[in-house]
Amino acid sequence: MGAVTQFYCCYLLQSVEHRQSFYIGSSPNPPRRLRQHNGELVRGGAYRTKRKGSRPWEMIMIVYGFPNKIVALQFEHAWQHGYKTRFIKENNRLINKKNSGSAGRNIHYKLALVRQLMNHTFFKFMNLGIQFFNSETAAIFEQNKFKIELDPCYKEFEKIQLSENSLSLSDYNLKQLTIDDLSDISDANKDLVTTFYDASIELDKVRMERYTERMMDGSIRCPICHDEFNYISEDPDLKPFVVLCTNEDCNYISHMSCLCRKFIKEEYGEGNETNILIPRGGKCPHCDILLEWTILTRYSLMLKEISSK
Ligand SMILES: [Zn+2]
Ligand SMILES: [Zn+2]
């Protein structure tokens, strides 16, 4: 079942030694990608030959929660090409082609771009999260030099976080980093990224196990429309898309379409829902916790995939 779990993120690397060097990429497995960027590192020697290059890289942050690889690639491309991306209106662009070289290398600009992209309607419904692994980067994001206010929905979902034990390179003399310093920083960063990624994958696994077990109950009635569905039946008509509450103590399950309509009504008000196809989320009708629509639908697709095998 592990194969169906999905994790797509975009990441920002910063060279530990050359703090003006950055790299933007995307990956379904950031710890593995980080190891690839840094090559096979052996303590006490590997960096010597690369001393003039940008290695080791520190993964200072990731933007995660993309529903698929294509969307992650779109975000990556827009982040890399902020001076021309169609996701930012021309007169809102912070830099243009002329100064994209120097200004574009600036960390304040790169973080402002993330704010701009996350505010775009296309990315906003995905409930993206940001995980910072470096506390200085998080502080720069907070400082928000370009004054791009994030949509309030991001406050609601609380997915912009700084990792526990995050790194701070102010503890080091960056002008005279030793080989040991480089190894220490790189190892500590790798641990932070791995911890975050493993926790996400584990959460997916545990939820999918609980959901699969629930579906084994057989006949279940949707609490909204009262129709029956049954994932252990042979009849494909009895296997519509369903959504389950993410709270492990809550048993809520309903049609995806029924809860979708309910959430849209709650979010936009009765009568205003006609043009809106996807809600951002809403409160579980049973336990009241905030449910993120993109997460519900992701599990829904996985369940459906398993049930049709
Ligand atoms: Zn229903
Ligand atoms: Zn619930």
pLDDT digits (tens, 9 = 90+) for 204-245: 999 999 999 999 999 999 999 999 999 999 999 999 999 999
**Whether residues 173 and 270 fall in one domain:** no
**Whether residues 195 and 246 fall in one domain:** no
277 confidence band (pLDDT: 50, 70, 90): confident
Say how many Å lie between the CA of residue 244 and the centre of ligand 1: 12
**Whether residues 265 and 293 fall in one domain:** yes
Say how many Å lie between the CA of residue 220 and the centre of ligand 2: 16
Say how many Å lie between the CA of residue 282 and the centre of ligand 2: 11
289 part of a folded domain: yes
Q: Please give the backbone phi and psi of residue 151, each rounded to the nearest 5 degrees, phi first.
A: -55, 140
**Whether residues 9 and 136 fall in one domain:** yes
Say how many Å lie between the CA of residue 254 and the centre of ligand 1: 6
**Whether residues 111 and 223 fall in one domain:** no
What ligand is nearest to the CA atom of residue 291?
A: 2
Q: Check whether the bond before 56 is cis (ω within 30° of 0).
A: yes
Say how many Å lie between the CA of residue 116 and the centre of ligand 1: 37
Question: CA–CA separation, 43 vs 97, rounded Å?
Answer: 41
Convert 175-202 to b/e letters by CB count within 10 Å (16 or more is b): eebeeebbbbbbeebbebbeebbeebee
Domain count, the chain: 2
Give the tokens for residue 23: 């790299």
Say how many Å lie between the CA of residue 238 and the centre of ligand 1: 12
**Whether residues 18 and 105 fall in one domain:** yes
Kindly tell me if the per-residue pLDDT of 274 is higher than 70: no
146 part of a folded domain: yes
Say how many Å lie between the CA of residue 248 and the centre of ligand 2: 8
Q: What is the mean pLDDT of the chain?
A: 89
Kindly tell me if the per-residue pLDDT of 144 is higher than 70: yes
Q: By residue range, what is the domain housing residue 276?
A: 216-307
**Whether residues 199 and 225 fall in one domain:** no
Q: Please give the backbone phi and psi of residue 50, each rounded to the nearest 5 degrees, phi first.
A: -105, 15
Mean pLDDT across the stretch 62-88?
A: 93
Say how many Å lie between the CA of residue 92 and the centre of ligand 1: 43
101 confidence band (pLDDT: 50, 70, 90): low
How high is the pLDDT of residue 145? 95
**Whether residues 51 and 144 fall in one domain:** yes
Q: Which residue has the higher pLDDT, 63 or 1?
A: 63
211 part of a folded domain: no
